[in-house]
Amino acid sequence: MTLSPIPKLMKTLEPAGKAQGQIFLRELISNASDALDKIRLLSLTDRSALDSTPEMTIRIKADKENKMLHITDTGIGMTKEDLIKNLGTIAKSGTSDFLAKMAETGDVQQLTDMIGQFGVGFYSSFLVSDNVIVTSKNNADKQYIWESDSSSFSIVEDPREDTLPRGTTVSLVLKDEAQDFLELDTLKKIIKKYSQFINFDLYLWESKTEEVEEPLEEDEEKPEKSSEDGEVEVEEDKDDKPKTKKVSKTTWDWVKQNDAKPIWTKKPADVEEAEYEEFYKALTKDSKGPLAKTHFIAEGEVTFKSLLYVPRVAPSDMLRNYGTKTENIRLYCETFPFAERLLKKGYEVLYLTEPIDEYAISSLPEFEGKKFQNTAKEGLTLKEDKDTMEELQKTYEPLTKWLGEDVLSDEVGKVAVSNRLTSTPCALVASQFGWTGNMERIVTSQTHTKADDPSRAYYQNQRKTLEINPRHPLIKEMLRLVEEGSADETTRDMARMLYRTSVLRSGFQLKDTVDFAASIETMMRKTLGVPLDEQPEEEPAAAAAEEPEEVSADDDAASDPSKEEHDEL
């Protein structure tokens, strides 16, 4: 009997086979697990279903001598009719849908992921094998052998009768370029990657070398000994215990590959600490237990279960880039406005720039008795500046009042003299419980947040504080203009420009970027002496190039007979 769609299917699967040849084993193990699920469900209503064998396992054996790989399960098995229907009739809707879907995409990863979704996973065996043999025994039928070379197949009753109590064995005659799948290390890696957490025990036929005690031969038990007279004497054993020697022997046995169970699927209250540690060691092959762990279930629009571990020892390549970006880090530190004064006075500053850092520190207010202070928020105090700050606040009160109550009353909550700036004219500081520019950027970039979330609107609409640098020349000049009463509209524009630049420099986002760009253009016009109302030149009209040519009277008369007759009259 023929399998006509197989060549077309193999051509479709070929890119995935070259990229990830191990998918065939993933699919065969998945099929075996499905067969075991079926017999387990059947046994719930029919207790005799497991009479042939109570064992529910998957076993994989590599036969290097014959270049064959065997995958055996004790699942429900297949009757002769099942073999024809499930393996012999490939032109089913699932295969047709798969071929149609693959015609729409050229992505190898998508192809790999979709192989198991359309019921064509078994046929991925032909990626690594020219000949596939399926031996199957169902409780309701005899044992049959299905064999195919991808172009045709045959089904015969097994002449060996029932070698399987129940279940299926898939035997692959591997191609020369697929001999690597007979190596135990390769099989272990694939099993760990794809099938480590299946619901049934999975065994691999492995060899191990061990030291065993064997009795000594008679000639080894009684070594000869020469006497002084040259006669050979035999040394008699003083101990009657049998003599043995250690010999290295290679033995083969089934070794379980999936000891670790998917404990993250359970409720945290149902898992003991010993199970967490055992699972961690099996997963990571670490002899030590984890430093910490968290197990939680999140329910919402998307429900997921998570089990996170922190190892006791950091990975060896964790800081592989450490020290290679020192110049960039130094440049960032030097230009960060909120830390200018602290760095100048020699204070140590923690630069926590990762997205998760601000979340973590907000829930960890202190460390070893020392409170954390975010330099981008209110509340930063320097004791040695107390007297000086009081004097500066009094001196700059006219400017802070003019900015806060007049020019920027709709933009900021208040304007204050800064004790953290040295070279920057001003900076925008968040309230003690508000969002910094970094936090605001993180929250607004999250795609799954609700647009009308009241808590988000509350934090975003909190008024910030504009801190001015009393030692900066721009601020000093602005104070002079305010005190003299000569702060005109240009001064107001400059004040608004300082505010907008402080928004950007402090990490916040401008609400009206179009107006900001227009303000920049206005300043450039004033600086370069370009009139504010001067408009760009218009492009020359295209019609000007096609103006009508002047025509002489003679030409006009010659071209218009009616006019010529009129002249004669």
Residues 6+ apart with CB under 8 A from 307: 263, 264, 276, 279, 293, 294, 295
Q: What is the mean pLDDT of residues 551-558?
A: 51
What is the CA 414 to chain-centroid distance, rounded? Answer: 43
Task: Please check whether the domain covering 263-310 is classified as CATH 3.30.230.80.
Answer: yes
- What's the pTM? 0.50
Give tens-digit pLDDT for 515-550.
889 988 988 988 898 998 888 888 887 555 555 555
Report d(CA 210, CA 402) in Å as an integer.
89
Task: Please check whether the domain covering 6-203 is classified as CATH 3.30.565.10.
Answer: yes
Q: Are 69 and 181 in contact (CB under 8 A)?
A: yes
Residues 6+ apart with CB under 8 A from 385: 419
Report d(CA 478, CA 566) in Å as an integer.
83
Summary mean pLDDT of the chain? 80
Give the helix/strand (H/E) hosting 283: helix 273-284
- With vertex at residue 221, the alpha carbon angle to CA 216 and CA 223, rounded to the nearest 5 degrees, is 140
- Per-residue confidence (pLDDT) for residue 115, from 0 to 100: 41
Domain 331-528: CATH architecture, name and number where available = Up-down Bundle (1.20)
- The binding site for ATP consists of 27, 31, 73, 78, 86, 92-94, 117-122, 168
Q: Are 14 and 105 in contact (CB under 8 A)?
A: no
Residue with tokens 């950091």: 314
Domain ranges for the chain? 6-203, 263-310, 331-528
The residue among 524, 530, 470, 464 whose CA lies nearest residue 500 is 464
When pLDDT is cut at 50, 70 and 90, the band that residue 563 belongs to is very low
Residue with tokens 């790999």: 112
In percent, how much of the chain has pLDDT > 90?
Answer: 32
Q: What single-letter DSSP state applies at residue 350?
A: -
Tell me the pairing of strands 129-137 and 68-73.
Answer: unpaired
Q: Are 422 and 341 in contact (CB under 8 A)?
A: yes
The residue among 4, 175, 29, 18 whose CA lies nearest residue 116 is 29
Strands, DSSP E only, in 122-218?
A: 129-137, 143-148, 153-157, 167-174, 201-215
Q: What single-letter DSSP state applies at residue 222?
A: S
The residue among 156, 149, 134 whose CA lies nearest residue 72 is 134
Residue with tokens 């529910």: 56
Is the confidence at residue 132, as pLDDT, over 90? Answer: yes
Report which of residues 235 and 126 the model is more confident about. 126
- The binding site consists of 27, 31, 73, 78, 86, 92-94, 117-122, 168
Give tens-digit pLDDT for 477-517.
999 999 998 888 889 989 999 999 999 888 888 888 888 89
